[in-house]
Structure 1
Amino acid sequence: MQAILMREPGEPDVLMQSELPTPEIQHPTQLLVRLAAAGVNPIDTKIRRRGPLLPETTATVLGCDGAGVVEAVGSEVTRFQPGDLVWFCHGGLGGLVGNYAEYIVIDASVAQPKPRSLDFVQAAAAPLVLLTAWESLHDRAQVRAGQTVLIHGGAGGVGHVAIQLAHLAGARVATTVSSPEKADYVHALGAECAINYREEDLVEAIADWTEGRGVDVALDTVGPDVFRQTIPAMAVYGDLVSILDPGPFDLQEARTRNLRISLELMLTPQLRGLTDAQAHQGEILRRCGDLFDQNQLRIHVDQSYPLERAADAHRRLEAGGMQGKLVLTTRN
């Protein structure tokens, strides 16, 4: 099979198209999936630059998100049969198990039926950002109707689905953007307030929007500086969630406000082999699949690339300024 192989960390040019053996089912609970598309996520570029998260591995096939057709099933698999269409988030953290390839073997427990309303490109774009946004808002912050929620980077991959999930939960949503065009985009997703961070002061804008109270929930998708800037925009007893390392910060204001600070890494179940947590993530995908098919949720694909142009996709992602997601497609 054709795959994109990384033998050492570095710039996008380390991603090389290679011929690898097609993987085979080794355990009775596994599926062989013929991949149609693979999502491209920031974690992929970080691993490419720094090396695999599973340090004992060398040659690596990246790609956590996949969508495709079941080719074969293990003897104990009852939920799927050959020909079924699936989507999932698994692999890509080290070794040859990743979705920048034509085939992958995964355990049936991590796969879900692909939403009928999504094509393969859309389905491959969605799992990681959906799981990150859902766990951040529902599992960490326990978002509920009537709350005010701030989503940073609302036009990005996690941000654009987080806006929709918060809105569906009955919350009022504010978000940060970098242009009037992106402001129009996030309003269409359900954001009530769009703050152009290049022109407006975040704390002042949130104070105006909440009549001085601050937001009940904030999701940082950007990094340490934004995390620190968000603390004075929070309501007392609020929930501040970051999907990145917030770095060192002064706890005094956060403590005075009695903030609950949470960290979100949806890769933990895979990194630590937590089967119950992986099953929970499967249930999240199932519920989100229903929302897609009920036309209550949508995923935006900024651009798709053929598999052999994985390096170009990485360059595009690292250049920034996108709306939504990037996807690689196979010839299968």
Structure 2
Amino acid sequence: MKAAFIERTGPPEVIRYGELPVPAVKDHQVLVRVKAVSVNPIDTYLRAGAVPMPLPMPYIPGCDLAGVVEAVGPQVRRFRPGDRVWGSNQGLLGRQGTFAEFAAVDECWLYPAPADVEDEALAAAALVGITAHLGLFRNAQLRAGETLFINGGSGGVGSMVLQMAKIAGATVIATAGSEAKAKICRDLGADYVIEYQKQDVVQAVRQFAPNGVQIWWETQRDPDFDRAISCLAQRGRMVVMAGREARPPFPVGPFYVKDCSLHGFVMFNATPEEQEACAKDISRWLAEGRLQPRIDRVLPLAEAAKAHQLQEDNTLRKTGVLAGKIVLRCP
């Protein structure tokens, strides 16, 4: 099978595109003929060797996938050959990833694909959608009528948080780095958009939400806790999901006197049952057209190294080259 893979960690150029054996399926595994995958920051960290996880070599990166069941192991009960499926949580904790024509995936990490939703959309919504759902509903316990601030509403996770919060009946304030990205946020349903290069974020938030926001969702790797906590309402909740090496100052006093709480998480620590609950909502909202994954561009799988470079430039170097997900089409 054709696959994008590495034989050592390093920069994007270590990614090779060539032939690898089709993986064999074990008892509870499903062999998926992969149609589309998407690129996530965690993929680039693993490829670079920046995250200490076991990597079977040659290692195939990639968490997300959408495709068609090719074969099933003897203990598989939920899927049959020919079923369309989607999923995430691959390429992690010693598992091989998805950047290949075929992937052997444990049944518990796969979900039925809605009939009228394209593979590219399913792949683009997978990790970022599950991440947004976990943070909003399991951790922050968002309720209808609350106000949520999302720092970066046009990106992969940010756009999912924005849309899910609106589906749940929240008011959403989003930031954007350009007029084009501000328009994306408005088109996705944001009630108020702050162009942070032109406006003072704290002043703008206080103007729109004088009593503070109930939830502050932080997408940046190095959060400004002083700014965030000053904008939180009494008993406000802050969600962080990036910045593995970040060590920013933390204003303990303002935080505790407001009865605030801080929620940090990574989606791959969630159980299969927790992630499946998210996937059911995501599939339904995609089928209903209420959830629209932001896809910045679609590239062939053979350009996986280029995709990793773009993702790395956007995440680490803050170049702003992406407004959504990179999706790779498999041959």
Give the alignment's TM-score, normalised by structure 2. 0.93
Q: Distance in 1 between matches of 2:33 and 2:324?
A: 25
Which residue in 2 is equivalent to 1:263?
A: 264
Shift of 1:53: 4.0
Shift of 1:9: 2.1
Instruction: Kindly indicate whether the alpha-carbon contact (under 8 Å) linking 2:229 and 2:255 is maintained by their aligned counterparts in 1.
Output: yes
Which residue in 1 is equivalent to 2:64?
A: 65
Instruction: Kindly indicate whether the alpha-carbon contact (under 8 Å) linking 2:223 and 2:248 is maintained by their aligned counterparts in 1.
Output: no
Farther-moved stretch of structure 1 (131-140 vs 50-59): 50-59
The Cα offsets for residues 36-63 of structure 1, whole Å up to 9 and x where unpaired, read as 1111011111112225642364432110
Which residue in 2 is equivalent to 1:272?
A: none
The 4+ residue runs of structure 1 with deviation greater than 6 A are none
Q: Distance in 1 between matches of 2:288 and 2:92?
A: 33
Which residue in 1 is equivalent to 2:12?
A: 12
Shift of 1:256: 2.2
Instruction: Kindly indicate whether the alpha-carbon contact (under 8 Å) linking 1:227 and 1:242 is maintained by their aligned counterparts in 2.
Output: no
Query: Kindly tell me: are residues 96 and 286 of structure 1, through their superposed partners in 2, closer, same or farther at Cα, counting changes over 3 Å?
Result: closer
Q: Would you say how many aligned residue pairs link Structure 1 and Structure 2? A: 322
Instruction: Kindly indicate whether the alpha-carbon contact (under 8 Å) linking 2:32 and 2:102 is maintained by their aligned counterparts in 1.
Output: yes
The Cα offsets for residues 175-216 of structure 1, whole Å up to 9 and x where unpaired, read as 110011111111111101111111211111110001x21110
Instruction: Kindly indicate whether the alpha-carbon contact (under 8 Å) linking 1:220 and 1:227 is maintained by their aligned counterparts in 2.
Output: no
Which residue in 1 is equivalent to 2:325?
A: 325
Instruction: Kindly indicate whether the alpha-carbon contact (under 8 Å) linking 2:154 and 2:294 is maintained by their aligned counterparts in 1.
Output: no
Alignment of 1:224-263 (within 5 A): 224-245=222-243, 247-250=247-250, 251-263=252-264
Instruction: Kindly indicate whether the alpha-carbon contact (under 8 Å) linking 1:164 and 1:190 is maintained by their aligned counterparts in 2.
Output: yes
Secondary structure, counterpart of 1:224 in structure 2: coil
Q: Distance in 2 between matches of 1:78 and 1:302?
A: 36
Secondary structure, counterpart of 2:10 in structure 1: coil
Q: Distance in 2 between matches of 1:95 and 1:306?
A: 25
Identity, % of aligned positions: 35
Q: Distance in 2 between matches of 1:143 and 1:325?
A: 25
Query: Kindly tell me: are residues 218 and 25 of structure 1, through their superposed partners in 2, closer, same or farther at Cα, counting changes over 3 Å?
Result: same
Query: Kindly tell me: are residues 183 and 58 of structure 1, through their superposed partners in 2, closer, same or farther at Cα, counting changes over 3 Å?
Result: same
The Cα offsets for residues 136-189 of structure 1, whole Å up to 9 and x where unpaired, read as 111111001111100111010000111000011111000110011111111111
Instruction: Kindly indicate whether the alpha-carbon contact (under 8 Å) linking 2:56 and 2:96 is maintained by their aligned counterparts in 1.
Output: no
Query: Kindly tell me: are residues 89 and 138 of structure 1, through their superposed partners in 2, closer, same or farther at Cα, counting changes over 3 Å?
Result: same
Query: Kindly tell me: are residues 108 and 225 of structure 1, through their superposed partners in 2, closer, same or farther at Cα, counting changes over 3 Å?
Result: closer
Secondary structure, counterpart of 1:267 in structure 2: helix
Alignment of 1:1-332 (within 5 A): 1-27=1-27, 29-51=28-50, 53-55=52-54, 57-93=56-92, 97-210=96-209, 212-245=210-243, 247-250=247-250, 251-269=252-270, 277-320=271-314, 321=320, 322-331=322-331
The Cα offsets for residues 12-55 of structure 1, whole Å up to 9 and x where unpaired, read as 1011113211001122x211111011110111111122256423
Farther-moved stretch of structure 1 (241-250 vs 65-74): 241-250
Superposition CA RMSD, Å:
1.6
Which residue in 2 is equivalent to 1:273?
A: none
Secondary structure, counterpart of 2:311 in structure 1: helix
The Cα offsets for residues 261-290 of structure 1, whole Å up to 9 and x where unpaired, read as 010200114xxxxxxx21220121122111
Query: Kindly tell me: are residues 105 and 57 of structure 1, through their superposed partners in 2, closer, same or farther at Cα, counting changes over 3 Å?
Result: closer
Secondary structure, counterpart of 1:229 in structure 2: helix
In structure 2, give the amino acid aligned to 1:38.
V
What are structure 2's unaligned runs of at least 5 residues? 315-319
Q: Distance in 2 between matches of 1:207 and 1:261?
A: 20
In structure 2, give the amino acid aligned to 1:216.
Q
Q: Distance in 1 between matches of 2:154 and 2:172?
A: 13
Instruction: Kindly indicate whether the alpha-carbon contact (under 8 Å) linking 2:65 and 2:98 is maintained by their aligned counterparts in 1.
Output: yes
